[in-house]
Amino acid sequence: MSEYRHDPVNGHWVILADNRSDRPDEYIETGWERISEACPFCEGNEGETPPEIARYAPRRGRTWLARVVPNKYPAVAPGARPPIGRPPPLEALEGYGVHEVVIESPRHLVSWSEMPIEGVRLTCRAYQERLAHLRRRGDLVYGVVFKNVGPAAGASIEHVHGQVLATALLPPPIAVRLAHWREGYHEAGRTVVSRWLDDERRDGARVVAETRHFAAVCPFASRVPYEVRIAPLEPMPYYEAIPAGWLGELASLLRDVVRRIERASARAAYNLIIHTAPFDAGPHDHFHWHIEILPRLTRAAGFEWGTGCFINPLLPETAASRLRAPHRTKP
Amino acid sequence: MSEYRHDPVNGHWVILADNRSDRPDEYIETGWERISEACPFCEGNEGETPPEIARYAPRRGRTWLARVVPNKYPAVAPGARPPIGRPPPLEALEGYGVHEVVIESPRHLVSWSEMPIEGVRLTCRAYQERLAHLRRRGDLVYGVVFKNVGPAAGASIEHVHGQVLATALLPPPIAVRLAHWREGYHEAGRTVVSRWLDDERRDGARVVAETRHFAAVCPFASRVPYEVRIAPLEPMPYYEAIPAGWLGELASLLRDVVRRIERASARAAYNLIIHTAPFDAGPHDHFHWHIEILPRLTRAAGFEWGTGCFINPLLPETAASRLRAPHRTKP
């Protein structure tokens, strides 16, 4: 028997139907072929990206460990003038915003699982600094960090990288979520994410890992197999405000979780999203920054597109127990 | 320069960024392989499906043109008892509902583009009758019809078919949309879809086809390349209530639009969704049934998953003009 489950954080319902994992599939994906030989993100090819915005260098050795560049094909761009609108009914605004790329390694790696901890830590710091910078500009409303790893997750470039996209408008699903978090915070005096974390930790069945300051959990209402949500144990609105001393711990947890996902499903494509408070003046006490990792092993179909409700064939309890299993190879 | 656009029907914003169609892709999808030899949906293999619920037969000739069967791997199922809930915070309900499959042709076809009009018409009628039946039961809250065509659209079986899924709860994104439609209807005395259709028809740039009772339009804020929304010109809450005399016209328009999409992008995978008023007692004057066709040529990535906001690299004006171009082969 399947189950409808509600996610108290995002507000969605999912259908958990583990009987559907027995469903025969007439198709196998014969995969993707990488047709490119040159890589614009590798060390030595720095001239192939637009001029660098920032660079993160190690104390000695290589000239850089991470680089920030403008996206060469931006979805949004800072125009010469503020956004001009087309009024309703068919409402439009100029695509005002910032779209940057963080090249996360000088070497041609694909996933955080392959990177040294120092590289993941500097990457986490780069995202902090970009978000802080975009927040300070004052002309943008909302910013999000996301990673597409593998072509099935929407990546068009193989070399390990992530993106920062800041917009002049607040996406409506985010606005709905913010209203729900604000209401929950005023009702309970605690963030919705804190209360969810308490419930998950009390139950324990879906907790993947816990460190001093962070927890990684397969949410009760996971939308996809091996979905993981990572959040600080204590509420903090801004990802940018994570103390520098905690970043190594976060980087290590993130790499460990990605490794565990890739062990459970070899070379899994995945999306990773960092949610931080929007750029308005606040207050943002209701916001509890967090990271979502969404492996892309299943394909959203008509039901998901039509209703926004996901059918997930893997129970998060099973997912978490597989992800928790001890590493067989050295860590 | 890209553009943010608002969809007055679904309430979403999209980013239209046609510069991103120039973006090089390191990957090509080497595709999918169909590994199955037998097809459970072909004429002669009727014993491989669960017992038939309904059958649509032509006046003479074949024994059936369409069959309705329970989904062998249902996402939801009618339990022996009414749904029992788990209370918040981690809220759950038994997966009570109905999940059926409509086998749309006795022959091994893949898409409506290949079917005779009579087959598409009977299929459209089968969906009407299934929805009407599920609505009458009184124990279900919401029903949706969807088709997954091609593995990239989530199909696991090649043989042309669709699904009806009725649930014991209203998905929250649908609830948000209904509230918006109700409000819009009370403000203007007309459905939100009617007002959108008027605006699109007045502008004309995105209209793909219009028949006596229906229009097919690439919406102003299309989420994906070649997205098409089809609706009756006059408001009607229930897809089930389309007069029998109009069904041939609708079937013919649907087949024509699918053919045009497949001509613009060979063998495009697509999802098709039929939205009809929910199963509560109503009134549903604010609901205007419609069909969405979402070709799956692009891949939703981290930004879409994180924000619910889509980046579309093809302007709907361009999409509609390509879809409108006269057929070169015989129709």
Q: Is B104 helix (H, G, I), strand (E, B) or coil?
A: coil
CA atoms of B266 and A223, how far apart (whole Å): 31
Write down the pLDDT at residue B127. 98
Distance set, CA B59 to CA A275, A317, B62, B64, B164 (Å) = 59, 52, 9, 10, 26
Distance from CA of B160 to the nearest CA of A (A): 13
Contacts of B290 in chain A (CB under 8 A): none
pLDDT computed for residue B331 by the predictor: 44
User: What pLDDT band is residue B326 in, cutting at 50, 70 and 90?
Assistant: confident
> pLDDT > 70: what percent of chain B?
97
Q: What is the mean pLDDT of chain A?
A: 93
> What span, in angstroms and rounded, lies between the C-alpha atoms of A319 and A226?
5
Of A1, A75, A196, the CB nearest to B77: A1
- Mean pLDDT along residues B12-33: 85
What does the pLDDT read at residue A62? 80
Q: Convert the pLDDT of each residue in A203-256 to its tens digit.
A: 999 999 999 999 999 999 999 999 999 999 999 999 999 999 999 999 999 999
- Percentage of chain B with pLDDT > 90? 84
A315-329 average pLDDT score: 89
Q: Do A172 and B34 touch (CB under 8 A)?
A: no
Look at residue B174 in the predicted model and tell me its pLDDT: 96
Is the pLDDT score of B86 beyond 60? yes
**Binary contact (B155, A275; C-beta < 8 A):** no
- Domain boundaries defined on chain B: 3-23+39-324
With beta carbons under 8 A apart, name residues in chain A contacting B95: 1-4, 15-17
Which of these ranges, A61-65, A111-115, B81-85, has the smallest mean pLDDT?
B81-85
Q: What is the pLDDT of residues A150-162, one digit of tens each?
A: 999 999 999 999 9
Average pLDDT over residues B302-310: 96
Residue B63: predicted pLDDT: 87
Residue of B nearest to A223 (CA): B305
Average pLDDT, chain B: 93
pLDDT at A331: 44
Q: Calculate what percentage of chain A has a pLDDT beyond 90.
A: 84
- On the question of pLDDT at B31 being above 80, the answer is no
CB contact under 8 A, B91 and A163: no
In the structure encoding, which two tokens stand for residue A201, read together? 């930790």
Q: Which two tokens stand for residue B165?
A: 């899924």
Beta bridge partners of A69: A101
The CATH number of the domain covering residues in A3-21+41-79+92-324: 3.30.428.10
The 3-class secondary structure across A241-304, one letter per residue, is HCCHHHHHHHHHHHHHHHHHHHHHCCCCCEEEEEECCCCCCCCCCCCCCEEEEEECCCCCCHHH
CB contact under 8 A, A73 and B154: no
- pTM for the model: 0.95
CA distances from A318 to A207, A218, A324 (A): 11, 9, 10
Average confidence (pLDDT) over A198-202: 96
Q: Do B303 and A173 touch (CB under 8 A)?
A: no
Choice among A35-44, A160-169, B29-38, B196-205 with the minimum mean pLDDT: B29-38
Instruction: Tell me what ipTM this predicted complex has.
Output: 0.95
The average pLDDT across B174-194 equals 96
pLDDT in tens, A39-96: 999 999 999 999 999 999 887 778 899 999 999 999 999 875 556 778 888 899 999 9
Count A/B contacts: CB-CB distance under 8 Å.
288
Among the partner-chain residues A1, A89, A165, the one whose CB lies closest to the CB of B79 is A1
Contacts of residue A203 in chain B, CB cutoff 8 Å?
Answer: 90
Give the nearest chain A residue to B193 (CA atoms).
A89
| B268 within 8 A of B296, measured Cβ to Cβ | yes
**What is the third-level CATH fold of B3-23+39-324?**
HIT family, subunit A (3.30.428)
